[in-house]
Structure 1
Amino acid sequence: MQLIALDPGHFHASLVHREQYPGIDTTIQVLAPEGKEVAQYLQEIANHNSRASFKENWTTEIFRGPGYLEQLKACRPASIVILAGNNRLKPGYISAAVNANMHVLADKPMAIDAGGFNMLKTSFETAANNNTLLFDVMTERYETRNVLQKAISQLPELFGELLTGTKDDPAVIKKSVHHFKKTVAGKPLIRPVWYMDTREQGEGIVDVTTHLVDLVQWTCFPNQILNYNEEIEIDNAVSWPTTLNLQQFNAVTGAESFPAGLEKMIDENGLLNVYANGAFDYTIRNIHAHIAVQWNYEAPAGTGDTHYSLLKGSKAWLYVLQDKEQHYQPTLYIQPVSNDKKYINTLHKQFGLLQTAYPGIELKQVKERWEVIIPDSLIRKHELLFGAVMKQFLKYIKEGRMPEWEISAMLSKYYTTTQALLKAKRLTGD
C-alpha cells in the first residue's frame, strides 16, 4: 500500500512520516502545485530520514504543477491519500480521492462550511460503495490527559452520571487558546499566506473546534452512533477577529505585504482582521455543552497553547486545565461533589483500577481537588500522536471496515461546526 501526499500545504502532512509502518511502501507519491509549501514538505521528509529507527529512507516520486489532481487516476488504487493543507480545497480533494478508489486520511477540518459538509456526506457514500475508508486526524484522542479524563468518566462509582446542565450552566466545556507565531521542533513556523485568509483556512469556529467537538462525542458517548439531524442543536454562536499588523503578518507568513484579495479583511487602521475566534453552545442528546477557541498573535514568554476541559458528573467534576502554579502544564483534576470519608475511600479504590491500566499514575490532594499525577513515561509529544492515528486507520483498512460510530461521529462533528458557523453569521449579519 502506498501513501500519496496531495497538495501538502500544512506541516501536519509530514508528521505521519515520523515513523514507518509494516506493509506501507516507503516511496511516497507527491502530487502538488508549485510553491514553497511542497518544498517545505519535502524538506521535512528529508529531516525524518535522519532517524536512526528507519530501516529504509522515505523516497518520493513528485508531480508538480498544473494537472496534479488528475494524476490521482494514475496512482495505485486503494492507496492512502494524506491531506493537510488548504481547507477550502479539502472537500473537493476528498471527493476526487474516493472517486479514484483511494482511502483518505485527512487533517482537520474536512469541511469549513455547509457546502463542504454536503460534499463530505456524498464522499462517505461513494467511499462505502467503493470499499474505501475516510478518516480524520483526531490526535487529541491519544493525548494522555484526555484519555484519562474519559476513562475516569466511565467509572460510575467515582464520577456518577454525566449531568445534563443548562444553556447558562453547561455540563461539558471545552476551550483552547492557540497562537499564530510559534516555534515547532526548534524552528520558527512559517505559515502559508492563505492560512490567514478565513475563506481558505476557515473561521476558527469550524477549525480547531473540530478537536473539541470530537472530544465531547468521544468522551460522553463512546462507541455510540449519533444522529445529527435529531440529536444535535446549536443554541447560540459568536465569532470575533484577531487583528494583526503588517509586521506581525510578515513574522507569521514571511510575506512583505498583505496580498491582494484580503482587502475586505483590513480595517481603517490597516490591521488584518482574521476571524479565528469562535464560541458556541449546543445540546447533544440533551447534554448542554460549550465550545470556545481563541487565537492570539503570540504566547507570553514561558507559555504556549492551552487546553481546558470540564466534565460535570453527579459525584465528581473532572478538569483539565493549565495555570501558573503548574508552570502552564496541562493538569487533570478530580473534584468530588462531596469530600466525605466514604467517597474518598471509593475514589482511591476506583482509581486503583486505572493504575493497573495506566502504571505510574497517582493521586495527590490539592485543597478540595485531587490531582492526577501522570508519569513522563505515559506522556507523548503532539508530533508523535499522528503515528497513533495512522496505525488506527491502518487497522481499520486491514479489517476492511470502519465502525459505524466512527462515521457517524465525523458527520455529526462537521454538522455541528458548520451549523455553528451559520448561526454565528446570522447573529452578526455577515
Structure 2
Amino acid sequence: MHTLAFLDPGHFHAALTLRERNPSVNDEIMVYAPPGRELDDFLGLVDAFNKRAERPTGWRATVRAGERSLERLLDERRGDAVVLAGRNDRKMALARRLHDAGFAVLADKPWIVRPDAVSDVRHVLSGGAVAVEIMTGRHEITSIIAERLVADRDVFGEFEVDHVGGPEGRGDAPDMAPHTPQRSEHAGVAGRAPRPPLARTGTAGPAIRLTSIHHLEKVVNGAPLRRPPWYFDLRVQGDGLADIPTHLVAQAQRLLASRGRPTDRDLELVAARRWATPVPRALFHRVTGLDAFPVELRDHVDGDTLAYFSNAELSFRLRGVSVVVATRWDLTEPPGGGDAHSAVVRGTRSQLRIEQGPETGFRRRLFVEPRRDLSGVGAALSHALATWPAALSGISAVATPDGFELAIPDRLRTGHENHFPLVLDEFIRTIDGGAWPDDRAADTLAKYELLARAARRA
C-alpha cells in the first residue's frame, strides 16, 4: 500500500486525483501546506468526495499546516509518493528535491514556466524515483480510438506530407484569437502584444491540427471554481505556451507513437506566438474573490481590465509530420457547456476529425472521412471495430454524408474529471512495475525541450 502526501495543493487538480478510491492507496493522506484558502479549498473538495451519495470515498486527511511545507514533509517522511499541483514557478525545483530524497512524484502540468527550468525536468526524468506528469488526455476515449485508427493503415493510410510554415504562409488555420467584439472593445489593453497573422500551412493544412478552448470561470464537481490570484500571474502560472500545449503536444506524440515511431526525437520548432484574453475586474472578482487586481499584475492592467496572455499557437514538425496546436482561454463557461476541442488528423486514405463544442452539445464526436475508396475504408473500419478488445466493445460506425461517425457507448465516456483518478492509478502501477524511466519519460522531456524553445522564440 502507498501513502500519498500532498505538498502545497493550490490547484484543484490535486484534489481531483482523489475523486475515486484506489485499492493500492491508504485512505489516510498527508497534507503539507500553509494555512489559508488554498488549503481550505483542497480539503473542502476532498470532503465533498467523501460525502457524496454515490461511490463516496473515505479519505482521512492528516494536515500539517504551517510554513516550510517541503522541509516538514522531508523530515517526517509520512508517505512514499507526493502529488504536486499548485504554483508552477517552483514546481520543478520542489520535484527535484523530492526526487533526490527518494519520493515518487506525480506533478500536474505545466512543469516549467521559464525555459531554464527544463534542466530540472531532465534531472527528474533521468532515473531514480518515478516522476510522472498528470496527463489526463491519455484516458480520453476519442483520443484512444483515434490512436487505434491512425495505427490501422487500411483505415488511415499514411500521414499526409505537407508544409507547415510561419506567419508569412497561407492556409486554412482557424483564428484562435478572441472573438471580434472582444478585440475591438479591449484594443487598448496595456501590455497586450499586437496580434500577427496566424502561422499558416500549405493549402490542405498540416497533417495534425489540434485546438482547444477553455474558460476562466467554470464549474468543477458541481460548484463554481475558485482560482488563486497567482493563477493570473504569468511569472507563477506561466503563459499560453507553457500550459495547455503540454496536453496538445503530448496528444500529437501519442498519435505518431501509435505507428511505432519513437516520439522523443526530431521535434523541430517552426513558429510560436501568444496573445492575451482581456479579463474584466468583475470576472476576476468572481473567480478569485478579490475586489482589485493585485499589485503584482499592474504591468498588464489598464483600468478595469487585465491582459492575460493565456492564448498560444505553436507549429512544429514531429518526425517529419507537420503539427499545429492552438489554445485559447475565454471568460465564462457557456450555460450547459464546457471546454471545446477540435482535432483533424490527415491520412492518405482518410481524415480523422474530433469535434467538441456548442454544435455537438459539448460532447466529443469522432468522424472518419475517407479521402478515396469509401467502400474500402468502410470495410477496413468494420473489420477494425470487430477485432478491438472487449474493453472497447459496443463502438459502431454510422454512415454520414462525409463518411462515418463512430457511435461510442456512454459507459466509455467517463468525463474529464474522472480521468484524474485513472492518472493516479497509472502512476501507482508505474511505481510498482519497477521499469523506469520508460517511453513516457523520454517523450515528456522531448516535449518540454520543444516548449522551452517556443518560449524563447515567442
Q: TM-score, normalised by structure 1?
A: 0.92
Structure 2 CA distance for partners of 1:175 and 1:404, relative to 1, 3 Å: same
State the alpha-carbon separation in 1 of the partners of residues 243 and 306 from structure 2.
19
Aligned with residue 237 of structure 2, among 168, 183, 201: 201
How many residues of Structure 1 are paired with residues of Structure 2 in the alignment?
Answer: 417
Q: Any idea what SS the aligned residue of 1:257 has?
A: coil
* Contact 1:153/1:159 (<8 A) preserved: yes
Partner residue of 2:328?
Answer: 294
1:49 aligns with 2:85: no
Q: Any idea what SS the aligned residue of 2:273 has?
A: strand
Instruction: Spell out, residue by residue over 1:291-322, the C-alpha distance to the aligned partner (whole angstroms, 9 max, x if none).
Output: 10000111333432111111111111101013
1:368 aligns with 2:368: no
Superposition deviation, residue 415 in structure 1: 1.4
Superposition deviation, residue 373 in structure 1: 0.6
Q: Any idea what SS the aligned residue of 1:49 has?
A: helix
Superposition deviation, residue 400 in structure 1: 1.5
The one-letter amino acid of 2:309's match is Y
Partner residue of 1:428?
Answer: none
State the alpha-carbon separation in 2 of the partners of residues 357 and 309 from structure 1.
24
Partner residue of 1:64?
Answer: 65
The one-letter amino acid of 1:310's match is V
Partner residue of 2:296?
Answer: 261
- Within a 5 Å distance, the mapping from 1:104-123 to structure 2 comes to 104-123=105-124
Partner residue of 1:178?
Answer: 214
Q: Any idea what SS the aligned residue of 1:390 has?
A: helix
Superposition deviation, residue 254 in structure 1: 1.0
Which ranges in structure 2 are unaligned for 5 or more consecutive residues?
165-200
Structure 2 CA distance for partners of 1:227 and 1:388, relative to 1, 3 Å: closer
Partner residue of 1:235?
Answer: 270
Structure 2 CA distance for partners of 1:328 and 1:41, relative to 1, 3 Å: closer
Partner residue of 1:408?
Answer: 442
Instruction: Spell out, residue by residue over 1:117-173, the C-alpha distance to the aligned partner (whole angstroms, 9 max, x if none).
Output: 112212233xx2xx3100011111101111111111111111111223221121011
The one-letter amino acid of 1:376's match is D
Superposition deviation, residue 357 in structure 1: 4.9
Structure 2 CA distance for partners of 1:111 and 1:248, relative to 1, 3 Å: same
Partner residue of 1:136?
Answer: 133
The one-letter amino acid of 2:273's match is V
Structure 2 CA distance for partners of 1:257 and 1:20, relative to 1, 3 Å: same
Structure 2 CA distance for partners of 1:399 and 1:342, relative to 1, 3 Å: closer
Instruction: Spell out, residue by residue over 1:342-386, the C-alpha distance to the aligned partner (whole angstroms, 9 max, x if none).
Output: 443333233332375511111112211311111101110211111
Aligned with residue 224 of structure 2, among 156, 181, 188: 188
Q: Any idea what SS the aligned residue of 2:94 has?
A: helix
Partner residue of 2:452?
Answer: 418
Partner residue of 2:143?
Answer: 146
Q: Any idea what SS the aligned residue of 1:72 has?
A: helix
State the alpha-carbon separation in 2 of the partners of residues 232 and 355 from structure 1.
32
* Contact 1:2/1:76 (<8 A) preserved: no
Superposition deviation, residue 403 in structure 1: 5.1
Instruction: Spell out, residue by residue over 1:239-262, the C-alpha distance to the aligned partner (whole angstroms, 9 max, x if none).
Output: 000011211111111111011111
* Contact 2:130/2:437 (<8 A) preserved: no
Greater helix proportion = 1
Instruction: Spell out, residue by residue over 1:31-83, the C-alpha distance to the aligned partner (whole angstroms, 9 max, x if none).
Output: 11222001111112222222567798322222222221111222337711101
Range 20-29 or range 2-11, more displaced: 20-29
* Contact 1:282/1:289 (<8 A) preserved: yes
Superposition deviation, residue 399 in structure 1: 1.4
Which ranges in structure 1 are unaligned for 5 or more consecutive residues?
425-430
The one-letter amino acid of 2:223's match is K
Q: RMSD value over aligned CA atoms? A: 2.0
1:330 aligns with 2:364: yes
Q: Any idea what SS the aligned residue of 2:163 has?
A: coil
- Within a 5 Å distance, the mapping from 1:210-289 to structure 2 comes to 210-222=246-258, 225-228=262-265, 231-267=266-302, 269-289=303-323
Structure 2 CA distance for partners of 1:24 and 1:343, relative to 1, 3 Å: closer
* Contact 1:133/1:397 (<8 A) preserved: yes
